[in-house]
Structure 1
């Protein structure tokens, strides 16, 4: 079976979505009362830059990292070994809508840039069973930073992710799902530009000649370039918000 081009586009990138080690550290610093050796599940880990960072900042933890695409997990294994934390990270190929773990297996669930695949509301509901009482769900989710987005930004997001809403409404969704909202904060523009989009643009430049005439590849390249153009013009209207949520005890 041919590899879907969306995976090819994101191979060999430091990250498969916006993010930064600084934001990972900031979110983790907000977790209180963890056991000395917490079990952490990174859902939709990609090549796992944040997985390795979590292992660095929490030397007592054990991490399980899941992704559907094996080459990303292979990249994670190599970077974890290089960082000296490979013995504390287990990579599992699994879909985030069918995670093969018993209820109450983890103290922390981590999902940077991945919950949109199943949907914010749906992920909060389906992943909750995996958390122990008092455990944390830490994730990033696309959100409006304004109640009146411009027509171009609204059209783009309504086509690619109609579930996008404001931070305020996402907080309410989390609370209705039975989580305490410990904190939220927006990712800085550098998490989009320097850490993600610039690498995507370079990857497109390298791939375009090899995929000329491939309708699927050309369509996804066009979409990625349009996405970047929209962000360039409307970055003040939307972005990723980090949500630190806690399950009741």
Structure 2
């Protein structure tokens, strides 16, 4: 089966979505009462920059990292070995909407920039069974920072992710799904621009001559360029919020 171009576009990038090691560390610092050797599941890990960072800041942890794209997992295995944490990270090819683990397997679920693939409400509901009592779900989700987004920003998000809501509305959904909202914080603009859009643009320029005549590639490149252009003009209106949630009971 031919690899969808969206995966090809994101290969060889440090991150497959907005984020930063500083934000990963900040979110993890908000977790309390973890066991000495917590079991962590990184869902939709991509090439796993945050996976390796988690292993660095939690030397007692064991991490299972899942993604559907094997080249990302291969990159993760190499970077984990290089960082000296490969023995505590197990890359596994699996779909986030069919995770092959028994109930109550993990102390922490981690999902930076991935829950949108299955949808926020579905992810909260379907992943909850994997957590032990009092376990944490830490994730980033797209949110509005304004109640009155501009027409251009609203049109973009209506096209690509109409489920986007405000932080307040997103917190309410999490609470209704049986989680305590421990904390939230917005990702800085640098997590989007320097850490994601700039590398994507470089990747596009490398790929463009190689995919001439490929309609799927053309459409994906045009979308990526539109996404960056909208963010450049409207970054104050939306972004990623980090949500640190704890399972009730």
TM-score when normalising by structure 1: 1.00
Instruction: Trace 1:115-134 onto structure 2 (pairs within 5 A).
Output: 115-134=115-134
Instruction: Give, in whole Å, the separation in 1 of the partners of 2:51 and 2:220.
Output: 27
2:100 matched to which residue of 1? 100
Instruction: Give, in whole Å, the separation in 2 of the partners of 1:177 and 1:248.
Output: 9
1:109 matched to which residue of 2? 109
1:26 matched to which residue of 2? 26
Instruction: Give, in whole Å, the separation in 1 of the partners of 2:119 and 2:214.
Output: 29
Instruction: Give, in whole Å, the separation in 2 of the partners of 1:2 and 1:169.
Output: 39
Q: What SS does the aligned partner of 1:40 have?
A: strand
Q: For structure 2, list consecutive stretches of 5 or more residues without a partner in the other structure.
A: none
Instruction: Trace 1:1-80 onto structure 2 (pairs within 5 A).
Output: 1-80=1-80
1:81 matched to which residue of 2? 81
Instruction: Give, in whole Å, the separation in 1 of the partners of 2:137 and 2:219.
Output: 34
Q: What SS does the aligned partner of 2:3 have?
A: coil
Q: How far is the alpha carbon of 1:2 from its aligned partner?
A: 1.2
1:158 matched to which residue of 2? 158
Deviations 1:144-167 (A, max 9, x none): 000000000000001100100100
1:179 matched to which residue of 2? 179
1:241 matched to which residue of 2? 241
1:223 matched to which residue of 2? 223
TM-score when normalising by structure 2: 1.00
Instruction: Give, in whole Å, the separation in 1 of the partners of 2:192 and 2:177.
Output: 29
Instruction: Give, in whole Å, the separation in 2 of the partners of 1:138 and 1:3.
Output: 29
1:195 matched to which residue of 2? 195
Instruction: Give, in whole Å, the separation in 2 of the partners of 1:239 and 1:66.
Output: 24
Instruction: Give, in whole Å, the separation in 2 of the partners of 1:146 and 1:97.
Output: 30
Q: What SS does the aligned partner of 2:180 have?
A: strand
2:149 matched to which residue of 1? 149
Instruction: Give, in whole Å, the separation in 2 of the partners of 1:125 and 1:80.
Output: 30
Q: How far is the alpha carbon of 1:213 from its aligned partner?
A: 1.0
Q: How far is the alpha carbon of 1:142 from its aligned partner?
A: 0.3
